[in-house]
Amino acid sequence: MKRALPLLSFGLAACSGVQHALDPASEESAFIGGLSWLLYGGATAIFLLVMAIAAYAVFGPESRKRLAHRKLIVGGGILFPVVTLTALMTYAFAGAPNLLLRGEPALHVEVTGEQYWWRVRYLDENGWAQFETANEIVVPANRTVAFHLRSADVIHSFWVPNLHGKLDMIPGHSKTMQVRPTRTGVYRGQCAEYCGTQHAKMAFTVEVVNEKDFERWHAARKATARIPDSPLLQRGRDVFLSAGCGSCHTVRGVNESRALGPDLTHVGSRRTLGAGAIPNSLGALAGWIADSQALKPGNRMPAFRNLQPGDLQAVAAYLASLE
Ligand code: CUA
């Protein structure tokens, strides 16, 4: 029993978490979770029943061992599966509309899978981008959110287990996933379709917050970048423009780039760098700029090993200041 206890607590602890399909934080995942438990429960009951019958056939009294009569075969082999599977299918079909689009969403967010990060655009009611960010999505609780899913290169798959099932992001297509989060918290998502060398390091977060916090966050993200207020930060901004960072990355209010890489207007406030690859900090920013290929080999950003230490320090400080 002593040995069983840690196992049991591990089993129970494994049923909650920030990346868990059986710890629902939305109406959609609550339905998926319920259906899963029904399937696990039913499968366990049927497995135990079959094992009991098998044990009876093997160990039961000699006279009663013959179970192979017509009634059992027709009942257990045909009738029982037809009735159970039809009931299950009806239940699943009846609940399926819970997972589809219903009603007008309160918020539209476009998420584009890229090798290997997530481009996130918040859209207005006409479908125009209000602002762009990357890898960290914030949505209000108890509002219906539509995620418009696209891909820029290969097939990726958008998956936040606490909020919904998986949906592939296919080049040339746009698919919509509707989610109504019911619980605040930070939930982890992960690309669920092999998309190249850094598929495993293609993570993101969806943070569910209350309405007021969302309005505050949205207004802050819409704003242009903070203006550098010290000689070090001013030097950092100049390095950002002269070293070539600005040809792929946009810092709104400073430059317009080809937007090949993530928008860095508020990069200082992100939790991680490289789509969940490393925790964000001043040192991590400097390390990423100097040699992102060592931290996430195969990502599309070249290493900037040629930067002078003073310049590297300044540009990292500048980016860290962009909250
Ligand atoms: Cu993107 Cu796997």
* Domain annotation covers residue 28: yes
Which atom of ligand 1 is least distant from the CA of 154? 1
pLDDT above 50 for 72: yes
Parent domain of 173: 107-222
Residues 177 and 123 placed together within one structural domain of the fold: yes
Residues 125 and 151 placed together within one structural domain of the fold: yes
3-state secondary structure of 279: strand
Asked whether 191 lines ligand 1 (CB < 6 A), one says: yes
Residues 125 and 92 placed together within one structural domain of the fold: no
Ligand 1 centre distance from Cα of residue 209 (Å): 26
Asked whether 108 lines ligand 1 (CB < 6 A), one says: no
Mean pLDDT of 223-238: 96
Beta strand pairing call for 203-209 and 136-140: parallel
Ligand 1 centre distance from Cα of residue 113 (Å): 7
Residues 124 and 169 placed together within one structural domain of the fold: yes
CATH number for the domain that contains residue 125: 2.60.40.420
The more confidently predicted of residues 258 and 154 is: 154
Q: Is 35 exposed, middle or buried (0-12, 13-18, 19+ CB in 10 A)?
A: middle
Size of the chain in residues: 323
Ligand 1 centre distance from Cα of residue 259 (Å): 19
Asked whether 113 lines ligand 1 (CB < 6 A), one says: yes
Q: Are 319 and 292 in contact (CB under 8 A)?
A: no
Domain finish residue from 32, 66, 99: 99
Strand order in the sheet with 185-190: 136-140, 203-209, 185-190
Q: Establish whether the linkage from the previous residue to 116 is cis, with ω within 30° of 0.
A: yes
CA pair distance 218, 245, nearest whole angstrom: 26
Asked whether 266 lines ligand 1 (CB < 6 A), one says: no
* Domain annotation covers residue 13: no
Report the number of distinct structural domains present in the chain: 3
Residues 111 and 212 placed together within one structural domain of the fold: yes
Among all chains, which residue has been given the structure tokens 């540009």?
A: 315
Which atom of ligand 1 is least distant from the CA of 113? 1
Give the tens place of pLDDT for each residue, 91-114.
888 888 888 877 789 999 999 999
Asked whether 195 lines ligand 1 (CB < 6 A), one says: yes
Mean pLDDT of 241-250: 94
Residues 238 and 213 placed together within one structural domain of the fold: no
Which atom of ligand 1 is least distant from the CA of 195? 2
Residues 134 and 197 placed together within one structural domain of the fold: yes
What are the structure tokens assigned to 312, written together? Answer: 């590297």
The pTM for the full model equals 0.87
* Domain annotation covers residue 7: no
Domain finish residue from 99, 128, 155: 99
Closest residue (by CA) to atom 1 of ligand 1?
156
Ligand 1 centre distance from Cα of residue 112 (Å): 11
Task: Select from 188, 140, 185, 215 the least CA-distant residue to 25.
Answer: 185
* Domain annotation covers residue 5: no
Which atom of ligand 1 is least distant from the CA of 194? 2
* Domain annotation covers residue 193: yes
What are the structure tokens assigned to 127, written together? Answer: 């479908």
If pLDDT is split at 50, 70 and 90, which confidence band does 184 have? very high
Q: What angle do CA 257, 175, 109 make, to 5 degrees?
A: 50
Residues 238 and 270 placed together within one structural domain of the fold: yes
Among all chains, which residue has been given the structure tokens 């980016």?
A: 319
Domain finish residue from 77, 99, 121: 99
What are the structure tokens assigned to 225, written together? Answer: 């970048």
CA pair distance 279, 80, nearest whole angstrom: 53
Asked whether 194 lines ligand 1 (CB < 6 A), one says: yes
Residues 111 and 194 placed together within one structural domain of the fold: yes
**DSSP-derived secondary structure for 170-214:** -TT--EEEEE-B-S-EEEEEE--S--STTGGG-EEEEEEE-HHHH
Residues 111 and 89 placed together within one structural domain of the fold: no
Asked whether 311 lines ligand 1 (CB < 6 A), one says: no
Which atom of ligand 1 is least distant from the CA of 156? 1
Q: What is the pLDDT of residue 65?
A: 62
Residues 111 and 198 placed together within one structural domain of the fold: yes
* Domain annotation covers residue 11: no
Give the tens place of pLDDT for each residue, 2-13.
454 444 454 555
Residues 150 and 44 placed together within one structural domain of the fold: no
First to last CA, the chain: 52
* 175 Cβ contact partners less than 8 Å away, ≥ 6 residues apart: 148, 149, 167, 168, 169
Beta bridge partners of residue 205, listed in sequence order: 136, 188
* Domain annotation covers residue 2: no
* Domain annotation covers residue 10: no
CA pair distance 155, 90, nearest whole angstrom: 32
Which of 102-111, 136-145, 162-171, 219-228 is predicted least confidently? 102-111
Q: 282-295 vs 309-321: helix axis angle to the nearest 10?
A: 110
Ligand 1 centre distance from Cα of residue 81 (Å): 38
